[in-house]
Amino acid sequence: MTNVVITGTGLFTPEHTIDNDALVASFNAWVDAENARRAEAGIEERLAHSSSEFIVKASGIHSRHVLDAEGILDPERMRPRLRERSNDEPSIQCEMGAVAARQALEAAGVAAADIDLVIVGCSNLERPYPAVAVELQAALGAGGYAFDMNVACSSATFAIETAANAIRAGSARRALVVNPEICSAHLNFRDRDSHFIFGDACTAIVLERDDLASAEARFEILGTHLVTRFSNAIRNNAGFLNRVTDADPQAVDKLFVQEGRRVFKEVCPLVASLIGEHLGRLGFAGEDLARMWLHQANRHMNDLIARRVLGRDPSEQEAPIILDRYANTSSAGSIIAFHLHRDDLAAGDLGVICSFGAGYSAGSVVVKRV
């Protein structure tokens, strides 16, 4: 069987950051204005303020990177202000992807022309077609074929399995997986329970046939395991039919909506079981893992999942957290953790890249440092 290795990763981090204090100040200013409007209209129900302490306690998040901070922090707007691109300009996601992809290619020692497959996987694509992946393929000068895919927060792990299978099947020798996440654009910054959750980022991964790889640092993909279970607990109803159903494009359900407590209760055991079963199929157990690069949505979820898999509390090194400064970057999160926290592993060390989110969906990629 053809062995597939990860030989390079890249990360695009937006220059703008918003800490919890700034986000809370904007939210509370809007709450005060909205409560004044309600009082004037004779509406008794009042909205509650947010606080930095509440955010950290609920999620572990302290700050986030975003493509635009000014629009988000304007209490009269509270959403990013991004310039619309003409058809002759690179799309925003293509630009993000190109930065991360070039880093990954350089790390792998691979020329873009030697890439046979480009997959762009993320929670939201800025247009239906042409595919951002095809645009990125052209921008990089990559060969072969390209396509977009969306499995929400699990897009990266699902794309890794797809790319690895293409390499094993012989339809590609090298593949590039890119995850351009502009999560700030689908977040309701006027919802107290979720206004702090997301940030923006883009990751990229190069996968190759092991016999073609030249990079010294490699991670062999020992196996992948995916699962989906339908649930409305995380949902976004924005779509092309909104126009013909006369739906309000600014309605709350056209943005990220979740039942947080239900998600926690249902997803944590699903993911812990997925990882445990996957390790068992490969002849390993939780205690064999040196590193867990988990989806970066919530500190409490990660701690619980790692505890169930390892059978004890994880150390900071075993289950690294990057959501404290990146927040939830959807499919990019686990790859950011992998990108930043893998160099210290020794040859033979095992790790798992795991993502989980809307769908429900979850993906496990077990790797070994070569």
Question: Mind telling me the catalytic residues?
Answer: 153
In degrees, rounded to 5, the angle at the alpha carbon of residue 105 between the alpha carbons of residues 84 and 337 is 80
Q: Are 188 and 235 in contact (CB under 8 A)?
A: no
- Quick count: other Cβ atoms within 10 Å of Cβ 280? 11
**Max intra-chain CA distance, the chain:** 72
Q: Are 301 and 321 in contact (CB under 8 A)?
A: no
Closest CA to 297 of 199, 364, 228, 201: 199
Instruction: Please name the amino acid found at residue 327.
Output: A
b/e sequence 232-258, b meaning 16+ C-beta within 10 Å: ebbebeeeeeeeeeeeeeeeeebbbbb
Q: Are 102 and 202 in contact (CB under 8 A)?
A: no
Distance CA 329, CA 331 (A): 6
